[in-house]
Every structure is written in C-alpha cells, then in structure tokens.
C-alpha cells in the first residue's frame, strides 16, 4: 500500500451489483485516487472501502456521491463520519451537498441525522413492499413466475392429441411452442388433476 504525505482528493464509488455502472458517480470531480466497488452496502467490511479508509490521511477530502454509497444505515454512517473527521479528514457528499469535518456545525449533524433517517425509512418501505408483493403472489390461485405458454383450453387439446398417439414434437409444433414448453405445461396439467 502506497502512502501519501500531501492532502489529496480521494473518491469512493460503490454500486450494489456488477451490472450497474460506476461511470456517473463523481465524474466531474477532480480526484487523485479512486476506490471503486460493486457490492451491497449492507456490510461495512467491503474490501475497497477498507482500502480507502486505510489510505486516507489527515487533510484529505473523501468524496462520495451520496450517503447511501458509504453506509446503508444511519448508525454506521455516523460512526464512520466521526472516525474520519476526528482524524482530520473532510467528507463530502455531493448529491446531498453536505460537507463534514472536525468543524462540522450542529446544523450539519442534524441534517445528516434527518437525511440518514429518511434514507433508512425509504429502504425499509421498499423492503416491506417487496415482502407484500411476494406474499400476494403466493396466495392460492395466483401464478408465480412466467405465464404458461398454453391456455388451459390449449393444454387440454394438446393432451387429447398426445393421448390419440400423436408425437409430442408434432403436438408442440402445432401450438408453436418447444417440446420443453409442452412438457412444462403437461406437468402443470398433472399437478392440477
């Protein structure tokens, strides 16, 4: 690990999944070093976050796109900010337009708590909606997953043709589906009987 002696502008960029792009975070900010991560924020023991925290020195400014990129809950965020600012490191959140240092005012601390609490509340609402949607989808009579490729009537017709001795490949072709789709639908028919 290389260390530096003069104050630097350091960036920490995080997205939750490997499919997401880090390109737009901090793209217009001059940074001497950047730490990028594609991991969920639920764990504070993220490798690039730890490397970033180890690299930071007194006088540095840590640039982060938004508070939720650094920590997922208010307690972790406050703890990290207190540790960093006590070491003489400035932390700047660009989306919220907040800057924290060892000179942070009571108003700034209040804003952090309010915004952090709102972000946590939004996350809990999203999780609750997801749980409700899953529970609703699991109710009796509700179909989970993709829609069947054959209607119930088509499935009965296909089953009748198979019972008459017509090969399954030909039956599948008549309905414009693959043989595997036909098998899946036949399994659905068997489960319903």
Instruction: Report the catalytic residues.
Output: 16
Specify whether the CB–CB gap between 41 and 17 falls below 8 A.
no
DSSP assignment letter at 95? T
Q: Which one, of 76, 70, 72, lies nearest residue 49 by Cα? A: 70
Distance separating alpha carbons of residues 156 and 150, to the nearest angstrom: 9
Task: Print burial letters for 67-81: b (CB count within 10 Å at least 16), e (below 16).
Answer: bbbbbbbbebbeebb
Beta-strand relationship, 33-38 and 61-64: unpaired
Specify whether the CB–CB gap between 57 and 27 falls below 8 A.
no
User: What are the two backbone dihedrals, phi and then psi, of residue 13, each rounded to the nearest 5 degrees?
Assistant: -125, 130
Question: Tokens standing for 82?
Answer: 């207190």
Stated as kind and residue range, the H or E segment containing 10 is strand 9-15
Burial of 172 (0-12, 13-18, 19+ CB in 10 A): buried
């Amino acid at each position: 690990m290389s260390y530096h002696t003069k104050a630097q502008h350091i960036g920490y960029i995080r997205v939750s999944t490997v499919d997401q792009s880090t390109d737009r975070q901090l793209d217009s900010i001059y940074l001497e070093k950047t730490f990028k991560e594609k991991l969920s924020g639920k764990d504070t023991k993220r490798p690039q976050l730890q490397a970033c925290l180890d690299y930071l020195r007194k006088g540095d400014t840590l640039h982060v796109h938004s508070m939720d990129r650094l920590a997922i809950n208010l307690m972790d965020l406050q703890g990290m900010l207190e540790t960093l600012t006590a070491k003489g490191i400035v932390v700047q959140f660009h989306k919220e337009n907040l800057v924290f240092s060892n000179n942070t005012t009571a108003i700034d601390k209040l804003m952090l708590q309010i915004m952090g609490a709102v972000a946590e509340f939004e996350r809990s609402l999203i999780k609750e909606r997801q749980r409700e949607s899953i529970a609703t989808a699991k109710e009796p009579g509700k179909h989970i997953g993709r829609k069947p490729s054959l209607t119930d009537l088509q499935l009965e017709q296909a089953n009748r043709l198979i019972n008459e001795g017509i090969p399954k490949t030909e039956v599948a072709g008549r309905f414009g589906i693959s043989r595997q789709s036909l098998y899946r639908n036949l399994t659905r028919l068997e489960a319903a009987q």
